[in-house]
Structure 1
Amino acid sequence: MKRFCLILTAVIMLLTATGTFAQQFAGYHARHFFLAGPAGAYQDGLLGFANPATTVMLQRFNMRYYWSTQEDDNADIQNWGFFTAAPNLGFGMLREKIDGKKVTDYNLSLGFGSRSAAFGIGYTWQGGEKARFARERLWSLGWLFRPGRFLSAGIIGNFSAESNAKEGVLDLGIRPLGNPRLTLFGDYALQKDQPWKDGTWSAGAALEVLPGINFSARYFDSERVTAGLAVSLGSGRISGQTHLDEDNEVAYNTYSVGFGEYTPSIFANRFSKRRYFLEMHLKGRVDYRKFRWFDDHTQRFWELLQQVNRARENAAVEVIALNLSAMSILPEHAWELREALQAVRAAGKKVVIFFDNAGMTAYHLASVADVVMMDPQGSLMLPGYTLNRTYLKGTLEKLGLGFDEWRFFKYKSAAEALSRDSMSTADREQRQAYVDDIYDLIRSEVSASRGINEATFDRLIDESVYFMAQDALAESLVDTLCRWNALGDVIRSLTGGNKMRIRPEQLNEGADAYQNWGTPPQIAIVYGLGECAMDSGINARQLAKIFERLTKDRSVKAVVFRVDSPGGDGMASDVVAEALKKCAAE
């Protein structure tokens, strides 16, 4: 209903933009000569300068500089434009010069909505000889609809703040292949007081011959033609465009340079291959979830895995360096993170890990590294593993209380804490199997990573337990003793050269780059944590509602359900399972 109202409003705007009098301000195509295609159908529409709704499609801060030169003198800059925008907000300025006379348009734009349907509002004012260039202060309303990968439709309404002049613009883009490889586009602009036949239009196409290399061509109703080349360097870009007049003579050329939005390119990694290292600080609690506000000391486990995996896939990254100082992590999370780092090493990249004080879990994680750094004043505690229980039968007897255990299976030993004063044979058996399994895993992985035999590892656990920094180095448990601030020297020694630091956000921009039209398919991650219960633990009632909501959400194409639970109420499990089956059926 909301989308229908937006479309209806736009249609009414276009219908009321026609009349029987003369054009009152410079037309859309005349004002936006830097565009290589329609604002809503090709590239980014001058970052909201032409259609304010395009600011919604941006994912980060962008900046562009355009200029034009005459055919016979490329050093003589006639016109220029400077455009900046962040998601939902843009500012631009465009200066035009003819016969020594100048005018500068300033524009502020604001966008709302999503990648499927966006709305924007903008305001344009001028400085200079505006009357000479037929300029007026304008309010602009823009809409951009991208219901899928194949179609983009834009509507712009420009309303003079100085007269009753109006202008309506419609642009359309079609991608037959559903991707940027081929884009067909056209647009039509009509001002108030113009007959329909006198509206201006253009049509053309853009072809991505290789990732990041785009050719475009555009034909205008005035028989003018433009041909352009745009090259992406990843976060940077350059472009050039030739403008031919109606006699097919070069009238002028336009060029641009800019940075911001990441675009996949064959050049992106060639200029930066193996030049960077990713620095990760694991200080705080590593957990599945964190509070949105006031929870800076919690690290989301999924985000850590995502950073490691993206660094492994990014050709620009050669080294991943982790700081485990003040880290709190569960053994199962440490193992899974270790597996991800092992995959990094298998891909031919290096891993460096630093710790100051560590125990079994942290050292198990650290041992995967090519280089293990330890603080010279730090310590390492390797006590092995043990499981024990506290028994309260004697305490209850002293209080005059008895306990009658209802037991149905041999290994269901939860109630033994109240019914016994020592560990049963069955409970000892299962706990010993669990401890042995964990210990055997860590012993084999640490021994393999550190190049020591398992007997040596057993001896260190049984006889030493506690290691000062020099002791850990002597036993080959670490590779070097230094502080975290010596990381650059360690990386230089490991790789034979200096590496620059890359921020996690820079990794994400490449992995999150989405050039297709419309909202990208969403994958929902749902957690079932704690005991299986209706109103606590996994919170089965609420969890079922979450799955019901995801079932109805058409933007969600897949659901990942991660369960970390010791078990519990069968009814709670059944409620969640039923909701999960309905979700999977969709």
Structure 2
Amino acid sequence: MMRPRSAFARAVVATAILFLATTGRAAAWEGLAPYAEESDVLSTSPSTDDGAIGAMFNPAQWGVLEKPELSFFWSDENVRPNHMDQWGVTAGAGLGFTLRRHDRQFPGGARNVTDYQIGFGSGSGRHFEGMALGFSGPGKGAFARQNYFAAGDIARPTRWLSFGTTGRIALQGGDHDAGVDVGIRPLSDARITIFGDYSLSRGERWDDGPLAGGIEVRPIPGLQAAIRYGDQDRFQVTVGVVLDRAGFRATPHFDKDANLGATRYAIRLNPPIKGFDLDGKRNSKRRFVEIDLKGRVAYQAYRYWDPGTISLRGLTERIEFAIDDPTVGGVVLNLSGLEANPAMLWEIREKLLALKQRGKKVIVYADNLNLGKLYLASVADRLVMDPRGSLLMPGIQISRTYMKGLLAKLGVGFDEWRFYKYKSALEAFSRDNMSAADREQLQAVADDAYAELANGVAQSGRATREDFDRVVNEEPFLYASRLLELKWVDALGRADSVKAVVKMVGGRRARLASYPTLLERRWRPDEEWGPKPTLALVYAIGECAMDDGIKARASSKAIRQLRENRDVKAVVMRADSPGGDPLASDLVAGEIRALKAARKPVFVSQGRVAGSGGYWISMDADTITTTPFTVTGSIGVIGGWAWNEGFGEKTGFSSDRVQVGKSADLLGGIRLPILGATLPERNLDAAERKQIERSFAELYDDFTQKVASARRLDVARVRELGEGRIYLGRPAVENRLVDRVATLDETIEAAKRAAGIPEKRNVQVVEYPKAPLFRLPMFLRGVLGPAARANAAAGTLPLSAPGLSYEARVLQAILDQPGRPLLLIPGSVLPSELEAVP
């Protein structure tokens, strides 16, 4: 099926061809102002003279404009002495308006007419289209003006080619004309543009249509020069200058003997041409960007009405802007109310360190700190703390709640199918304390996380490692005044005191600036033609499930479409998953393998958790990056069986059945209300359990062999690293389970390089899934959420049902899918639970 945009473009081109093919005997310009006479305000051609002036001749230019432009143009060729007779105004973006005044000497005196045009344009990168309605005011009869409809199209398939078509038709009388033009940039940028245009009006033959062409150069930002040759050997020269976001250009016209005729002038506000950055020179490093971190840092925020969520990439983009912009001397962060897991804190901290490496400053205000926030704040050049603030950091602990006794009291039996030493995800149901293997791996995780945090603070110069350890063990709670004595903070003050700190750090003329205001003020037009290379960022977040969590069914389809889309040059997947269903995991992993086979670069950036099924979806990437706080590995399989061991007697429930098949009774039992799960009546017998063990061994063999193949390791080595053991990021790098420690932004840059995209080339990062529009009220989420209808039909809640703990959701998964192996990590290391106390 033809897409609407494509259909529109083809219709415009077909109309233009029809116009060009038409010949008649009417006056060549009667009813429509002739293009050759009107286009003398252009410096190049309609599809290459980007902006509101070009939109007068090709309304698709309204779609090219990123920001609204206002231009005023006039001529020194006047009919009446000391009067400005030939002038016009054009303004807009997307939707545009043009007014143009003409004066002409007629027998009996001078007359004038004002022509108007209302236009609309849209498009993106590769293709733009537009339409306009033109009409004239009083006096149009003397100028033989007719109201008309215009349509235009601009195609930019590459960085070096622009092709435009446009056509007009009078609404009465049948007059029409059309034009085509082309622009070529031999250097693939705006420094040199070679252009040409051709138009034909009703009544003209093919060889009657005027031709024009020339060359434009923009040797440096802010300077523009062009020469345009027209019919009858006439030519015009344009010289223009753009300072910040205001421009001026002059276009003198010459005849074939080089005699000067009229000169056209234009003043432009917000022209789509990069200007001399006077603001950057005048305000070098004088602005400090305010960044308020009140809220929860997440991968995506709702697009509307979600003030309590901060998107990770949105935040790092703000810091990146501060790094690149010459007027920014630093950033001011307010940590009050910040919620973020350690992996995200590390990503933010790394971005701030990159800013400092560019010679810029970081100022931080904090009220209450814990170990994680101190780790982030320690990067500051100047750390200001509220006088009533405090720091609580008794260290790190990882604890688990065990439910063996609870299940026994409820009359629920539980058999943990644990065939691999460290695969401890279900021991919370079968034990009343921590197993030796789980204690070993969790202690290693706690030690590694503590060392990363402590070393980060020590490397900032705010404390030695010895002092840090002493405070943790001897002074775990400190008020701001004590922190000032220790020189862990630089000053005490309220949030508004940072204004004085900014001037102290940045100089007398330094000042605070909000990011949205500064972003608007520092906007620079994109002069590049054609679609930008696209990188896809796929979020695989939550449990590995078919229609919830990572949504493997939809995600695998989306990844397949990205593989088939030639515009997508590389794929980055952010994996933040504790695992789950092996089928869901392998469905996504299979598409990652297909990307590799298609030689399209695919990178995985691991988030806070990428273990078990989360590691399965990671392992096949060309490159796996991780963070120092990522919990990964957990190569193993786990499962369990819950059954009625007195539950019916204690609660009054009972069940009965008929069956065909020796083990069919395992699928029946007491149907639990609310949860919608079934509690089987018995445990597996020895033969049935042997079959389970055999299926687990089969899946584990497949898992380890896939890891060995993907990571180029011996299977024996993978089995040694496996057994369900979890690792933090740096040990995972040492053991070659992942490639390196890197942020999500660094991973995207690496994927860009792998795709062969030049470092300075801008790219478009497309996220999947798209950020949702708005957050549903809590009481509606279970009713109107995406998986609600399917779960309601099955009589169950989704695995990620709000209000249920991780262990409760795991138990429900076991009841919902009895006998099936799971790829899960222990709930004790999920993001909300591995935090600095409290």
TM over 0.5: yes
Partners of 2:139 and 2:222 lie apart in 1 by: 39
Q: Which residue number corresponds to residue 87 of structure 2?
A: 80
Partners of 1:265 and 1:258 lie apart in 2 by: 11
Instruction: From 187, 199, 202, give the equivalent of 1:177.
Output: 187
Matched, 1:558 2:567: no
Q: Which residue number corresponds to residue 629 of structure 2?
A: none
Cα displacement (A) at 1:394? 2.7
Q: Which residue number corresponds to residue 550 of structure 2?
A: 538
Matched, 1:93 2:88: no
Cα displacement (A) at 1:162? 4.4
Cα displacement (A) at 1:448? 2.5
Instruction: From 240, 249, 252, give the equivalent of 1:239.
Output: 249
Instruction: From 466, 475, 483, give the equivalent of 1:464.
Output: 475
Matched, 1:33 2:24: no
Moved more, 384-393 or 341-350: 384-393
Instruction: Note the aligned Cα RMSD (angstroms).
Output: 2.8
Matched, 1:371 2:382: yes
Residues 135 and 146, structure 2, Cα contact 8 Å, conserved in 1: yes
Instruction: From 285, 298, 302, give the equivalent of 1:274.
Output: 285
> Which of the pair is proportionally richer in strand?
1
SS at match of 1:248: coil
Quick one: percent identity of the two aligned structures?
Answer: 36
* Alignment CA distance shift 1:415-1:508 (3 Å): farther
Cα displacement (A) at 1:546? 0.7
Cα displacement (A) at 1:366? 1.6
Instruction: From 147, 154, 158, give the equivalent of 1:144.
Output: 154
Equivalent residue letter for 1:404: D
SS at match of 1:222: helix
CA displacement, residues 263-307 of structure 1 (integer Å, 9 cap, x when unaligned): 445646434432322222222221112233432322111121122
Cα displacement (A) at 1:118? 2.1
Equivalent residue letter for 1:255: Y
Equivalent residue letter for 1:428: R
- 1:319-334 matches, cutoff 5 A: 319-334=330-345
Q: Which residue number corresponds to residue 133 of structure 2?
A: 123
CA displacement, residues 67-120 of structure 1 (integer Å, 9 cap, x when unaligned): 33359x99974433222212x211122223456644322221111333322221
Unaligned runs of 5+ in 2: 601-838
Instruction: From 287, 297, 300, give the equivalent of 2:311.
Output: 300
Residues 36 and 42, structure 1, Cα contact 8 Å, conserved in 2: yes
Matched, 1:114 2:124: yes
* Alignment CA distance shift 1:256-1:503 (3 Å): farther
Matched residue pairs, number? 584
- 1:8-407 matches, cutoff 5 A: 8-15=13-20, 17-23=22-28, 24=30, 25-44=32-51, 46=53, 48-69=55-76, 77-86=84-93, 88-98=94-104, 101-260=111-270, 263-265=273-275, 267=277, 269-407=280-418
Equivalent residue letter for 2:353: Q
Partners of 2:567 and 2:59 lie apart in 1 by: 25
Equivalent residue letter for 1:10: T
* Alignment CA distance shift 1:136-1:179 (3 Å): same
Cα displacement (A) at 1:12? 4.4
Residues 52 and 92, structure 2, Cα contact 8 Å, conserved in 1: no
SS at match of 1:445: helix
Cα displacement (A) at 1:525? 0.6
SS at match of 2:137: strand
SS at match of 1:457: helix
* Alignment CA distance shift 1:102-1:198 (3 Å): same
Moved more, 354-363 or 498-507: 498-507
Q: Which residue number corresponds to residue 537 of structure 2?
A: 525
Q: Which residue number corresponds to residue 439 of structure 2?
A: 428
* Alignment CA distance shift 1:506-1:578 (3 Å): farther
Partners of 2:319 and 2:412 lie apart in 1 by: 55
Moved more, 344-353 or 485-494: 485-494
Residues 236 and 258, structure 1, Cα contact 8 Å, conserved in 2: yes
* Alignment CA distance shift 1:353-1:103 (3 Å): farther
SS at match of 1:380: strand
* Alignment CA distance shift 1:250-1:117 (3 Å): same
Equivalent residue letter for 2:592: L
Q: Which residue number corresponds to residue 482 of structure 1?
A: 493
Moved more, 422-431 or 213-222: 422-431
* Alignment CA distance shift 1:47-1:384 (3 Å): farther
Moved more, 174-183 or 232-241: 232-241
Residues 224 and 243, structure 1, Cα contact 8 Å, conserved in 2: yes
Question: Under a length normalisation based on structure 2, what TM-score does the superposition of the two structures give?
Answer: 0.65
Partners of 1:279 and 1:75 lie apart in 2 by: 52
Partners of 1:167 and 1:65 lie apart in 2 by: 26
Residues 530 and 538, structure 1, Cα contact 8 Å, conserved in 2: yes
Moved more, 482-491 or 349-358: 482-491
Partners of 2:411 and 2:222 lie apart in 1 by: 81
CA displacement, residues 384-438 of structure 1 (integer Å, 9 cap, x when unaligned): 2111111222333344444333222222222221222222222222111111111
* Alignment CA distance shift 1:133-1:249 (3 Å): farther
* Alignment CA distance shift 1:491-1:235 (3 Å): same
SS at match of 1:446: helix
Question: Under a length normalisation based on structure 1, what TM-score does the superposition of the two structures give?
Answer: 0.92
Q: Which residue number corresponds to residue 499 of structure 1?
A: 510
Q: Which residue number corresponds to residue 612 of structure 2?
A: none
SS at match of 2:306: coil
Partners of 1:258 and 1:360 lie apart in 2 by: 53
Residues 236 and 262, structure 1, Cα contact 8 Å, conserved in 2: no
Cα displacement (A) at 1:325? 2.2
Residues 20 and 195, structure 1, Cα contact 8 Å, conserved in 2: no
* Alignment CA distance shift 1:469-1:110 (3 Å): same
* Alignment CA distance shift 1:414-1:502 (3 Å): closer
Equivalent residue letter for 1:94: R
Unaligned runs of 5+ in 1: none
SS at match of 2:241: strand
Residues 290 and 299, structure 1, Cα contact 8 Å, conserved in 2: yes
CA displacement, residues 426-457 of structure 1 (integer Å, 9 cap, x when unaligned): 22221111111111111111123243212222
Residues 52 and 69, structure 2, Cα contact 8 Å, conserved in 1: no
CA displacement, residues 469-522 of structure 1 (integer Å, 9 cap, x when unaligned): 333323323222233333332211101132352634754897985323222111
Partners of 2:81 and 2:422 lie apart in 1 by: 85
Structure with higher Rg: it is 2
CA displacement, residues 6-46 of structure 1 (integer Å, 9 cap, x when unaligned): 35533444246531121303211322332111111233351
* Alignment CA distance shift 1:499-1:137 (3 Å): farther
Residues 160 and 529, structure 2, Cα contact 8 Å, conserved in 1: yes
Moved more, 438-447 or 450-459: 450-459
Moved more, 41-50 or 346-355: 41-50
* Alignment CA distance shift 1:270-1:77 (3 Å): farther
Cα displacement (A) at 1:261? 5.4
